Amino acid sequence: MSAATAADPHAPGGMSRSRAYQGLPLFANGFRAFFLLGSIQAGLSILVWLPLFYGELTLSSAFAPRDWHVHEMLYGYLPAVITGFLFTAIPNWTGRLPIRGAPLAALVVLWIAGRLAVTFSAATGWWVAMLIDAGFLLLIAAAAGREIAAGRNWRNLKVVALVALLFAGNVAFHLEAHFHGASLYGIRIGIAVVVMLLSLIGGRIIPSFTHNWMVRENPGRLPVSFNRFDMIVVAIGALALAIWIASPDGRIAGTVLGIAGLMHLVRLSRWAGDRTLRERLLTILHVGYFFIPLGFLLNAASAFGLIEDSAGIHAWMAGAAGIMTLAVMTRATLGHTGNALTATVATQAIYAAIIVAAVARTCAVIHSAQSGVLLHVAATAWVIAFLGFALAYGPLLLGLRDPLRRAG
């Protein structure tokens, strides 16, 4: 079973098993609680970040303000979305029942405890925060690995390996921040893992969803399915990211990052994204993926000393990660709650806001003279996108408007 079924339950074998569940709807599927709470945390964190950045607010965190901001996006929000996706995909990969009910609720509580422990780590102690915060990713990797092994779905163990590497990056982040005052390698490890996950999962679901829709709605040129060329692109991207983790500056890093960016652009061009404009649920996936090659190219420019390094980082994180996670969350929520896979006006407004946030945040680095205005634009649009998702999709995630549950 492919990763595509996690976000498209109407694919063969992809229908949710939530009808047999009789407990609280929020804990019926992994995507419900983690998508909802993750989106709220992503929006609220940015509301806190700008006053923190300008010195108008202080937190009782052992992290420096910048490290707190980076950590809560990279190791707070994104693990929640990754968990929601994995716990929804794995039953379709393995044929086993999903993790739900009390075990899922316990993991949600642990994730929330991690956010509190990190934010108040000056009081609780940095090592306590590390144990609670990193413990969540360790349990997710262990639970996912157990389910995949039990279902003998060995081909998807690489995703579990990346989650385990994200756990290692989180531990490194805490250790660096405590012993050296700031995190460098922990940040780059986490970003590299996220880019790899987006490259792997995006490379499966984007052409698959696009193909299925075009066959029904827009016959003609179809996207190229995952093949050997994609494997080469992903491998070169992984090499570029490994070099970037070790040493992000210099000719070697710049050259390999540039090659990876160009190859990812070619990969994206093979998916016929220009033919998806009639269905925004598809178009947004192509737009989000565009920020992956853009991030490689901007980091290549940074390696040669042409621009600041955070331009490429924000293209990857605000752009690729922000846009693609919202794209997957909206699609998976609609599909797994029995709603039509089409973008409503509210959904399109969410997409517009996150694109504005990604472009403004990246441009704030490149156009430093306008950085103050662009930072406020990016923050406002980001908050609108994520809290807008929570408001628009919260009733579905809570089971208040769920045709599947009413039918069951």
What is d(CA 171, CA 313) in angstroms, rounded to the nearest whole number?
20
Which pLDDT does position 368 carry in this prediction? 87
Residue 243, in any domain of the structure: yes
CATH number of the domain where residue 361 is located? 1.20.210.10
Please give the DSSP secondary-structure letter assigned to residue 224: P
What is d(CA 145, CA 33) in angstroms, rounded to the nearest whole number?
21
Query: Where do the H-state alpha helices sit in 181-249?
Result: 185-217, 228-246
Residue 141, in any domain of the structure: yes
User: How many other C-beta atoms are found inside a 10 Å radius of the C-beta of residue 364?
Assistant: 23
Cβ partners under 8 Å of residue 364, min gap 6: 314, 370, 371, 374, 375, 378
Residue 298, in any domain of the structure: yes
Residue 408, in any domain of the structure: no
Nearest to 38 by CA among 77, 83, 69, 84: 77
At 388, list the tokens: 């807008």
Which pLDDT does position 28 carry in this prediction? 92
What is d(CA 72, CA 75) in angstroms, rounded to the nearest whole number?
6
Q: What is the pLDDT of residues 269-309, one digit of tens each?
A: 999 999 999 999 999 999 999 999 999 999 999 999 999 98
Which pLDDT does position 400 carry in this prediction? 84
What is d(CA 260, CA 265) in angstroms, rounded to the nearest whole number?
9
Residue range(s) defining the domain that contains residue 121: 4-403
Number of domains in the chain: 1
Which pLDDT does position 34 carry in this prediction? 98
315-326: average pLDDT:
98
Residue 36, in any domain of the structure: yes
What is d(CA 203, CA 197) in angstroms, rounded to the nearest whole number?
10
Cβ partners under 8 Å of residue 94, min gap 6: 1, 147, 148, 150, 151, 152, 153
Residue 158, in any domain of the structure: yes
Q: Is 385 a residue whose pLDDT tops 90?
A: yes
Residue 59, in any domain of the structure: yes
pTM of the predicted structure, to 2 decimals: 0.93
pLDDT band at 152 (very low <50, low <70, confident <90, very high): confident
pLDDT band at 404 (very low <50, low <70, confident <90, very high): very low
Q: Taken in order 188, 5, 290, 370, is the CA torsion positive or negative?
A: negative
